[in-house]
Amino acid sequence: MSETTTSRPAGQRPGSAARGRSASGQPRPQGRGTRAGAEPLARRAEAPVDPAGTWSSGHRESRARGSSARSTAFARRAFGAIVLAGLGATIGLAVSNATAGGLALPGGPAMFAGNLAALAGTYLAMVMVLLMSRIPFVERAVGLDGLVRWHRRLSPWPLSLIALHAVLTTIGYAQAAKSGVWKQLGAFVDTYPDMLAAIVGFGIMMAIGVVSIRAIRARLRRETWWAIHLYMYLALALSFAHQIVLGPAFVGHPLTVAVWSLAWASTAGLVIAYRVGLPIVRTLRHRLRVVAVREEAPGVTSVVLEGRRLERLQVAGGQFFAWRFLAKGMWWQAHPYSMSALPSPPYLRLTVKQVGDHSSAVGRLRPGTRVAIEGPYGRFTRDSRVRDQVALFAGGIGVTALRALLEDLPGSSRPVVVVRASTEEELVLREELAELVRERRGQLHELVGSRSEVRLDRQLLRRLVPDLRKRDAFVCGPESFVEHTVALLRAAGLEPSRIHHEAFSL
């Protein structure tokens, strides 16, 4: 038996959303979600089939299969071991080129430490680039959100080490020349090959590091931060030559130069292949175009796309694409948005909340607009489960990924779905969600109101999901919602391996 419940602040009168039929046949709210055969609230192109009603009923199952929780844990351990082994080899390279005589000279210790910092820093920078190269088998095992977390945690280290290299090397050379630091900097620019380019590259790296500080980054538009971040590739390229020409580990060691150059060339090749080449191939293969734009709620828009050979698109419920809409002002960047339903060939659907320039422009797309894609990405899928039964928690627009994931769950999954929204109007895709819960004999709970009025705490969690410890939990929504809910689940005794989460952020 399935049921739908709605919690509101005390004294609040139910609005029009309190009418209709629930998943169990009892009266249930009606939101502004998709209805079979309903007319779109925005533009729609002519099509032989109404794309707006394509996802109203029926069960589809994705053809994509991701990695299990066990294989993910193995992949993380293996990746960590490989990175540490490479770091050890890099440090060994610096140590093997040091001599007692060289360390005894004026400036010798500072130059040795600077060389060590340079090798370790550039190696970790290469690892950072590899993390974001989106190699398919790595992304399937760890998930793009996991790779991004690793990238963020790692990023302070290469920048700090490279900055330390610059300081120590300048001090060491100044000590050896018995001159001042500023005079030595001038000598670097005037007499050392490729040093000016390296200094420019270093400046770019430090600038990117500064704007990546959370307090500063939060003040920037996503488009601005993304454009600035791309300059890291230029900074690394400018800095590469001086390391090969001047680095003590490379001067007079052609084999070391060849191996290091091959490692960086391979890294660049992987980035080009999987960040540029593969998206172009998929875009040309599927030839997606916009066929309908529909307002689901104030500030929330669904976009329906039509394409070819979508049955070959290996996508699972809960995954997302980076979408590049080939329209004026939008073509130059790709933004990540979750699919709000499994593909229904020849159609795909994404649902977007307007929170920035790009997401607001999505609501103004014209039918016929061509679309390029990168992906699918993410491990927020049913294959991440440890247990068969699940509890799903969505905050705000996070319901889009959960709605697609729910559609991909087997009919016997008996899911408990908890949806959090500030107002009834924010309960998007409401009827679709209720229907999918009913088909899987689950329960749908809607928490409507401000955080102070309707708060998800341990007591309410225990009441909504009394058998939580027998389930896996999936959490999706804004960062604050995800962090709060994940902490709550852990405090309730749920093992970290059974908590799967994806946060929507910059």
- Looking at the fold, whether 122 and 237 belong to one and the same domain comes out as yes
Residue 394 sits in a domain whose CATH number is 3.40.50.80
- Concatenating the DSSP letter of every residue in 113-139 gives HHHHHHHHHHHHHHHHHHHTS--HHHH
Examine the fold and report which residue of 200, 221, 248 is the final residue of a domain before the chain moves on. 248
- Looking at the fold, whether 410 and 369 belong to one and the same domain comes out as no
Q: Which pLDDT score is estimated for 140?
A: 77
Provide the CB-side half-sphere exposure for 311 (13 A, CA): 0
* CB-based burial label for 62 (10 Å; 0-12, 13-18, 19+): buried
Helix (H, G, I), strand (E, B) or coil at 457: coil
Instruction: Give the pLDDT confidence of 88-110 residue by residue, as tens digits.
Output: 998 888 888 777 877 888 888 99
- Looking at the fold, whether 155 and 225 belong to one and the same domain comes out as yes
Is pTM, for the whole model, over 0.85?
no
Q: Indicate whether 144 belongs to any domain.
A: yes
Q: Indicate whether 161 belongs to any domain.
A: yes
Q: Which pLDDT score is estimated for 60?
A: 56
Q: Indicate whether 1 belongs to any domain.
A: no
- Looking at the fold, whether 456 and 343 belong to one and the same domain comes out as no
Q: Indicate whether 416 belongs to any domain.
A: yes
Q: Which pLDDT score is estimated for 132?
A: 86
- Looking at the fold, whether 106 and 227 belong to one and the same domain comes out as yes
Q: Indicate whether 20 belongs to any domain.
A: no
- Looking at the fold, whether 102 and 244 belong to one and the same domain comes out as yes
Q: Indicate whether 456 belongs to any domain.
A: yes
* CB-based burial label for 487 (10 Å; 0-12, 13-18, 19+): exposed
Q: Indicate whether 196 belongs to any domain.
A: yes
Instruction: Give the pLDDT confidence of 211-244 residue by residue, as tens digits.
Output: 888 888 888 877 788 888 889 999 999 988 888 8
The answer to whether the beta carbons of residues 395 and 482 sit under 8 Å apart is: yes
**For residue 396, which of 479, 489, 304 has the smallest C-alpha distance?**
479
Q: What type of residue is 29?
A: P
- Looking at the fold, whether 108 and 236 belong to one and the same domain comes out as yes
Residue 302 sits in a domain whose CATH number is 2.40.30.10
Give the domain extent around 160: 98-248
* C-alpha angle 421-427-430 in degrees, rounded to nearest 5: 145
- Looking at the fold, whether 415 and 432 belong to one and the same domain comes out as yes
Indicate the angle between helix axes 108-131 and 254-272, nearest 10 degrees: 30
Between CA 68 and CA 327 the distance in angstroms is 38
Beta strands 416-421; 390-395: pairing state: parallel
Q: What type of residue is 452?
A: S
Instruction: Give the pLDDT confidence of 403-445 residue by residue, as tens digits.
Output: 999 999 988 889 999 999 988 888 999 999 999 999 999 999 9
Pick from 96-110, 142-156, 486-500 the range whose average pLDDT is largest: 486-500
- Looking at the fold, whether 222 and 322 belong to one and the same domain comes out as no
- Looking at the fold, whether 355 and 213 belong to one and the same domain comes out as no
- Looking at the fold, whether 387 and 454 belong to one and the same domain comes out as yes
Examine the fold and report which residue of 320, 347, 377 is the final residue of a domain before the chain moves on. 377
Examine the fold and report which residue of 331, 351, 377 is the final residue of a domain before the chain moves on. 377
Q: Indicate whether 276 belongs to any domain.
A: no
For 7, 134, 266, 272, 276, the CA distances from 269, given in Å and listed in that order, are 53, 12, 5, 5, 10
| Domain count within the chain | 3
- Looking at the fold, whether 106 and 225 belong to one and the same domain comes out as yes
The whole-chain average pLDDT of the chain stands at 83
Q: In this model, does residue 18 exceed pLDDT 60? A: no
The dihedral over CA atoms of 184, 186, 187, 190, expressed in degrees to the nearest 10, equals 170
